[in-house]
Amino acid sequence: MSLSPDKTCYSIFGNYSHIGNITLFIDGQELVKTERDLSLLIDEKLKWTDHIEHVYNKIIKYIRLCYKIRNKLPFDILKQLYFAFVHSH
């Protein structure tokens, strides 16, 4: 069994400010500090910034589309489009 640096993440919990910056390497490749678990992105400080940015980038194109076609389609169809493309994220 081996570790793949591209797929390996790490998180440090607790007060580690006295330790300084910690960087982990496997085969000379730095590990990512952001972890994706159950489709959630959580950074090393347990902040949701990466996750919010990821979801925002996924849904912004659908929000723009709904905004442009809001007067051209019936409300029921717009609602179906919203639940199909935006609400799931």
Same domain, 32 and 56: no
Q: With pLDDT > 90 as the criterion, what percentage of the chain qualifies?
A: 10
Query: If you ran DSSP here, which 8-state letter would residue 33 be given?
Result: S
pLDDT-above-70 percentage for the chain: 60
Does a structural domain hold residue 14? yes
55 inside domain: yes
CA nearest neighbour of 85 among 54, 62, 60, 57: 62
The total domain count for the chain is 2
Task: Indicate whether 52 and 30 sit together in one domain.
Answer: no
Do residues 7 and 32 both lie within one domain?
Answer: yes
Q: What is the pLDDT of residue 16?
A: 59
Domain range for 9: 1-38
Indicate whether 7 belongs to any domain: yes
Does 77 have pLDDT greater than 70? yes
Q: Is residue 64 part of a domain?
A: yes
**Based on the domain organization, do 23 and 53 belong to the same domain?**
no
**Considering the entire predicted model, what is its pTM?**
0.49
21 neighbors 44 (Cβ within 8 angstroms): no
Residues 52 and 33 in one domain: no
In terms of residues, how long is the chain? 89
- In contact, 11 and 35? CB cutoff 8 Å: yes
Q: Can you spell out the DSSP letters for 6-21?
A: TT-B----S--TTT--
Residue 77 belongs to some domain of the structure: yes
Asked if 6 and 30 count as a contact pair (C-beta separation under 8 A), the reply is no
Asked whether the predicted pLDDT for residue 15 surpasses 80, the reply is no
- At 76 the pLDDT is 92
